[in-house]
Amino acid sequence: MRATTIHAPGDIRVEEVPDPTITKPTDAIIKVTAGCICGSDLWPYRGFNDITPGDTIGHECVGIVEEVGAEVTDFKPGDFVIVPFDHCDNTCAHCRNGMQAGCVNLGFTMSGQAEYALVTQANGSMVKTDAMPDAGLVPSLLALSDVMATGWHAAVSAGVKPGSTAVVVGDGAVGLCGVLAAAQMGAERVIAMSRHESRQDIARQFGATHIVAERGKEGAARIAEITDGIGADAVLECVGTDQAIKTAFAVARPGATVGFVGVPHDVELPVRKMFQQNIGLAGGMAPVRKYLPELLERTLSGAINPGLVFDLTLPLDESPEGYRAMDERRAIKVLLQP
């Protein structure tokens, strides 16, 4: 099959690699209808994560079931499915407690930017639609495989409540979906921190009531002004850098919680500030399967349209250009069509 592979920082290729095969009875193979590039894929692309040359890359996809293992009873070839990036059996003790991201049989989508992908816990992971969706709905369904569920997890972890003030740090696809999540959860004020006009526009469409373009101390001062010096009731940290974490804690009011979902890189927590002001930290890798049924219902009803985060669509063969576009911030999120 054709698949996106990574060989070194900045070296993305589309190559022929072996098709995935079923090796366990819980496996399924998906013919990818749409995949995409995630902001977290830029960490190895930029040289911040270790790379095994030639590995496939891409963990987000939707598609049609091609083949299932003997123990996959809930799906059949021809079903259209959303594949959470983190696979789970949805039956172990951790899954039953709503932490599918910690499943004892945890697996991951490894070739979402390809023609086919393997799902290692198909029964527990995948969620199907009643019929083949319209093409216009596919981007939003694809967003549910990671970024919308991750933004939702940030809002849940931060404790967004009706009437509250939420601040979202980060204006990538996850941050924008965090804005959408906070608005859906009834936050009265949703403050998006963004310096880019195209991203600000989507944030407003998703329910942002305020935009703060300033960074660092200036950004914190602007949020203090908006909140009459109180700060945010809930902060969604959707980047993963030390600056983003520091900003998140700087804008949180005493007693607030920071919901963090950005993959952390070289982060040092302000533990003394957390102690002195009773600011909590919660979150981590999103248990996508936990949120999928509700998010699918909201998507199909038209209540949310997370597919707006895709502002560039390319054929799979042009995925290297998709990486360049995201790295250079010419695109928020790139959808790839095999």
Residue of 296, 292, 254 lying closest to 273 (CA atoms): 254
Domain boundary among 263, 283, 303: 283
Question: CB atoms < 10 A from the CB of 76, how many?
Answer: 12
Strands 55-56 and 2-8: antiparallel
Residue 13 has φ and ψ, to the nearest 5°, of -135, 160
Q: What is residue 274's three-state secondary structure?
A: helix
Angstrom distance (rounded) from CA 167 to CA 149? 18
Question: What CATH number is given to the structural domain containing 34?
Answer: 3.90.180.10
283, 303, 325 - which closes a domain: 283
Residue 231, token pair as written in the block: 């700060």
Say yes or no: 73 and 157 in one domain: no
Same domain, 156 and 118: no
Task: State how many domains the chain has.
Answer: 2
- Decide which of 246, 261, 283 is a domain's last residue: 283
- Per-residue model confidence (pLDDT) at position 69: 98
Where in the sequence is the domain holding 172, given as residue range(s)?
148-283
Do 130 and 12 lie in one domain? The reply is yes
Same domain, 112 and 155: no
Tens of pLDDT along the chain (338 residues) come to: 999 999 999 999 999 999 999 999 999 999 999 999 999 999 999 999 999 999 999 999 999 999 999 999 999 999 999 999 999 999 999 999 999 999 999 999 999 999 999 999 999 999 999 999 999 999 999 999 999 999 999 999 999 999 999 999 999 999 999 999 999 999 999 999 999 999 999 999 999 999 999 988 999 999 999 999 999 999 999 999 999 999 999 999 999 999 999 999 999 999 999 999 999 999 999 999 999 999 999 999 999 999 999 999 999 999 999 999 999 999 999 999 99
Shared-domain flag, residues 22 and 101: yes
Claim to verify: residue 205 and residue 279 sit in the same structural domain:
yes
H or E segment at 5? strand 2-8
C-beta pairs of 185-188 under 8 Å, 24+ apart in sequence: 185/155, 185/160, 185/161, 186/160, 186/161, 186/162, 187/160, 187/161, 187/162, 187/163, 187/234, 188/162, 188/163, 188/164
pLDDT in the model for residue 218:
95
Q: Is the pTM of this model over 0.85?
A: yes
> Do 203 and 295 fall within a single domain?
no
- Given this model, what pLDDT does residue 259 score? 98
Whether residues 279 and 156 fall in one domain: yes
Distance CA 86, CA 307 (A): 20
